[in-house]
Amino acid sequence: MAIRQIRTIGDEILRKECKPVKEMTPRLKELVEDMFETMYETGGVGLAAPQVGILKQIVVIDVEDGNQYVLVNPVIESEEGSQTGAEGCLSVPGKSGIVTRPNKVTVRAFDENMEPIELVGEGFLARAICHECDHLHGSLYVDKVEGELEDVEAEEEES
C-alpha cells in the first residue's frame, strides 16, 4: 500500500468524466487500498479515484460509522429531503463552503469484488456519497457552494 498524491483544484484531471470499471484487476484492488490509506493519512472521509489521478469510477468512504464503503461504478438511484451544511474537500485544501445536498440517497454500485450492492445513506453518509460521486463526473463541491468559500484550519477539513 502507498500514499498517493492528491490532485488539487486547478488540475484538469479533476474536471474529467471517469470511465466505468469493467473488471476488478489486482492493480485496481491495490488502488482501492491506496485510496483508503491516502484518505486516512490526510484526514478525509471520502476519496474518489480522480483525486489521485486515476480516471476510473471508484470511490472509498469512511464516515466513522463502523463501515468502509467501496463504490465501483456508483449510480445514485434516488434522493430524498435536503440538508445544508459545511463541506470541504481534500482537493480544495484550506477551504470550506455551505452546500445543500439530499438528506437520504440510495446508490447502486459494485463492491471491491465486483458484487452488486445497494447502499442507503442518510445524513453525513448521504453527503459523502453525493460529494464523491460528483468527482467521478468532473464536478467539485465548489461548483455548488452557496455564498463564498471560507478559510478553515486543516483539522476542520472533511471529505
For residue 132, indicate whether it is catalytic.
yes
Domain ranges of the chain: 12-156
- Say which of 87, 132, 157, 158 is annotated catalytic: 132
Please provide the CATH number assigned to the domain covering 12-156.
3.90.45.10
Digit-by-digit pLDDT tens for the chain (159 residues) are 799 999 999 999 999 999 999 999 999 999 999 999 999 999 999 999 999 999 999 999 999 999 999 999 999 999 999 999 999 999 999 999 999 999 999 999 999 999 999 999 999 999 999 999 999 999 999 999 999 999 987 544 444
Q: Is 150 exposed, middle or buried (0-12, 13-18, 19+ CB in 10 A)?
A: middle
Q: Is the dihedral of CA 86, 13, 74, 76 positive or negative?
A: positive
